[in-house]
Amino acid sequence: MKRGKKGLVLAGALLLTMFALTGCGKTKINLNDYVEVNFSGYNTAGQAEINELKIRNDIILDHWETFGLTEEQHENEQAAANEDTRQFVESVSYSLDKMSGLQNGDAVTLQWNVQEKELDELAKKIKAEFVYSDMTFTVEGLEEPEDWDPFEGTEINYRGKLPFVSVDYIEHPAGSDVPGLIWTNSDTDFNNRAEESADAEHISRGLENGDTITVNISAPDGQDIMQFCAMQGKRPIALSKDFTVEGLDGYVYDFSQIPADLLKQMDEKVQGILQEEAENTWDWRLAEMKLLGNYFLCARDEGMSTPNYLYFIYEITAVDDSTGNSQIYYYYGRYRNLKIASDGTVSVDVEDVATPDGKYYNWGMYAGEVHGEAFMKGDVYFIGYEHLNELYEDKVQQWDDRYICTSTVNQ
Residues paired with 130 in a beta bridge: 21, 29
pLDDT of residue 239: 97
What is the rounded CA–CA span in Å between residue 299 and residue 254?
A: 11
Q: Are 148 and 235 in contact (CB under 8 A)?
A: yes
**Helix (H) and strand (E) counts in the chain:** 9, 26
What is the rounded CA–CA span in Å between residue 55 and residue 143?
A: 28
Mean pLDDT by runs of 10 across the 411 residues of the chain is 37 36 72 97 95 92 93 86 92 96 97 96 96 97 96 94 92 93 78 46 77 94 94 96 96 97 99 97 96 98 95 98 97 99 98 92 72 91 96 97 96 67
pLDDT of residue 188: 60
Provide the angle, in degrees to the nearest 10, between the axes of the packed helices 83-91 and 116-126.
150
The whole-angstrom distance between residue 104's C-alpha and the CA centroid of its chain comes to 36
The whole-angstrom distance between residue 374's C-alpha and the CA centroid of its chain comes to 53
Q: Are 251 and 162 in contact (CB under 8 A)?
A: yes
Helix (H), strand (E) at residue 228: helix 225-230
pLDDT of residue 204: 67
What type of residue is 105? G
pLDDT of residue 12: 33
What is the rounded CA–CA span in Å between residue 405 and residue 398?
A: 11
What is the rounded CA–CA span in Å between residue 53 and residue 49?
A: 11
Q: Are 88 and 122 in contact (CB under 8 A)?
A: yes
260 three-class SS: helix
What is the rounded CA–CA span in Å between residue 12 and residue 228?
A: 31
27-30 vs 128-132, strand pairing mode? parallel
pLDDT of residue 331: 99
Structural domain boundaries of the chain?
19-138, 146-248, 255-407
Looking at residue 173, what DSSP letter applies?
G
Radius of gyration of the chain (CA): 44
Distance (Å) of CA 199 to CA 193, 202, 204, 222, 358: 12, 7, 11, 38, 38
Residues paired with 403 in a beta bridge: 299
Looking at residue 392, what DSSP letter applies?
H
Sheet containing strand 135-138, edge to edge, reads: 92-96, 107-114, 135-138
* Long-range contacts formed by 263-271: CB under 8 A, 24+ apart: 263/294, 265/350, 266/310, 266/312, 266/333, 266/335, 266/348, 266/350, 266/353, 267/291, 267/312, 267/333, 269/333, 269/350, 269/351, 269/353, 270/312, 270/314, 270/332, 270/333, 270/353, 270/355, 271/314
What is the rounded CA–CA span in Å between residue 311 and residue 338?
A: 12
